[in-house]
Amino acid sequence: MNEYGQIKSIAVRRVQQAFVSQQSIDQQWQGLNYHAQPNFDAAVEEYESFIQMLKSTGGEVVELQGDDALSLDGIYVRDSLIVSPRGLIKASMGKTERDVEPSINADELTARGFNIIGEIVAPGKVEGGDLVWLDDKTLLAAIGYRTNQQGLAQLAKILGDDVDVHGFDMPHYKGAGDVFHLMSVLSPVDEKLAVVYLPLMPVRLVQLLEARGFGFIEVPQEEFDSMGCNVLAIGPSHVVMVAGNPITQQRIQDAGCKVEVLKADEISRKGEGGPTCLTRPLVRG
């Protein structure tokens, strides 16, 4: 398990299945705390470019279907399911408007042959964006407004003694209504290399990564809100990042990585869900 290996299988949900229509967007975006109102047609165009980037890796792109119970947030498929060495685990969402997503996505992937080995249940909460695998035996986890200690305790029990779950308290930052996950500040891009936003990282997490020999590609303050740290590795040292972060892009390239740049004003910035949030990597090489 890791967050940087070559993509072999990855789940996504297109704009047409998540946003559905401009009318649906108009009705939901404010209640879901989006920063601005997405434009449906522009979002479809952006997402098509993203799909082509994913397909260019040669891996399987699993396109999840829509469902009337889903909100706009259904486009951010990472959070509802947790990958593990033995199979998938249904998350328990910290954002109540997303409560239906784990079951809907798990049911579809089960029908496609994927194995579900457990689920997190209330009052436990775990969202996929708060989890980062370093290897098969090491899972980093955030404790914050979207993931709590009860949820991590359940997750550790499901994973078993073979996996060490390291929990780190996240800062309050913008509060409970904000989308602030572990992967908001940490995106591994190779075995010992990660894109990070150090000012909001827990000290013990920084120390753990340094002790394991990690090098850091630091995101500057002016590119944090524009999602400079939300970087998806589609293979070792090969990443997709949101356009408009030239300093971070240059630093990633200077570290020896190949960078694909995605225009994502509609599908990422307005809902605070970058390339990592838009995907649920299922199998990596």
Q: Cα(27)–Cα(22) distance, rounded to whole angstroms?
A: 9
Ordered alpha helix ranges (H), the chain: 15-18, 22-28, 40-55, 101-111, 149-159, 203-211, 246-254
Q: Is the pLDDT of residue 25 over 90?
A: yes
Percent of the chain with pLDDT over 90: 98
Q: Would residue 197 count as lying in a domain?
A: yes
What does the pLDDT read at residue 181? 97
The model's pTM is 0.96
Q: Would residue 278 count as lying in a domain?
A: yes
Average pLDDT over residues 34-42: 97
Q: What is the pLDDT of residues 170-200, one digit of tens each?
A: 999 999 888 899 999 999 999 999 999 999 9
Q: Would residue 78 count as lying in a domain?
A: yes
Number of domains in the chain: 1
Q: pLDDT band at 258, cuts 50/70/90?
A: very high
Q: Would residue 235 count as lying in a domain?
A: yes
What does the pLDDT read at residue 34? 96
Q: Would residue 2 count as lying in a domain?
A: no
Q: Cα(238)–Cα(159) distance, rounded to whole angstroms?
A: 29
Which residues span the domain enclosing 72? 7-284
Q: Is the pLDDT of residue 127 over 90?
A: yes
Q: Would residue 183 count as lying in a domain?
A: yes
Q: Would residue 37 count as lying in a domain?
A: yes
Half-sphere exposure of residue 166, counting CA atoms within 13 Å on the CB side? 17
Average pLDDT over residues 131-160: 98
CATH number of domain containing 30:
3.75.10.10
What does the pLDDT read at residue 179? 87
Average pLDDT over residues 92-119: 97
What does the pLDDT read at residue 256? 98
Q: Regarding beta strands 131-135 and 215-218, do their DSSP bridges make them parallel or antiparallel, or are they unpaired? A: unpaired
What does the pLDDT read at residue 187? 98
Q: What is the mean pLDDT of the chain?
A: 97
Q: What is the dihedral of CA 68, 98, 78, 205, to 10 degrees?
A: 180
Q: Would residue 90 count as lying in a domain?
A: yes
Average pLDDT over residues 129-147: 97
